[in-house]
Amino acid sequence: MATIFQAPPYEPRRERRKKLIIIGAAAVLVVVASLAYAYRNWPYERVVERFFTALKAQDYLKAYGIWMVDPNWKQHPERYNRYSYADFYRDWGPGGEYGIVRNFEIEGSANPGGSGVVVVVRVNDRAERANIWVEKKDKSLSFSPYQTVR
């Protein structure tokens, strides 16, 4: 029977393996944390990508549903009087600021604080970017109160 004064023999292989496991686990943790931070806005960028893809396909009804986070918005349009489909079409349709969306590129996103994320989109190769605000809680879209400098 071993007592507290009888230490087990030192095993250098076991100690080295334990040390490598600890270092490996720490490295994996750092990589996972870095990736989580780098892609923290990916879900919001994806919503904006879906929105602009619908605009590019000239499916304005679908784009409005994405903007309002309600694919069945036509069943109850009275809920959206603050920004009606007519207003949306005036802003994003062929006669809107960006015209017919032929191409777009999501250039990045920022967390300015508050309840949302600003996603910066280059539309039709224009110098001026579209800054879309994505609300974190429901992923609804709106025009950003912030302008980016590029």
How far is residue 75's CA from residue 53's CA, in Å, rounded to a whole number? 23
Element (H, E) at 119: strand 116-123
Using 50, 70 and 90 to split pLDDT, how confident is the model at 53? very high
Average pLDDT over residues 54-65: 97
The answer to whether position 68 is within a domain reads yes
Instruction: Please tell me the pTM assigned to this model.
Output: 0.82
- Say yes or no: 35 and 47 in one domain: no
Residue 76 burial (C-beta neighbours within 10 Å; 0-12, 13-18, 19+): exposed
pLDDT digits (tens, 9 = 90+) for 5-20: 787 788 888 889 999 9
- Say yes or no: 66 and 127 in one domain: yes
- Say yes or no: 25 and 65 in one domain: no
The answer to whether position 81 is within a domain reads yes
pLDDT digits (tens, 9 = 90+) for 19-34: 999 999 999 999 999 9
Q: 122 Cβ partners below 8 Å, 6+ apart?
A: 104, 105, 107, 129, 130
- Say yes or no: 48 and 23 in one domain: no
**What's the pLDDT score for residue 113?**
82
Number of domains the chain is built from: 2
- Say yes or no: 49 and 96 in one domain: yes
pLDDT > 90 fraction of the chain, expressed in percent and rounded:
81
The answer to whether position 148 is within a domain reads no
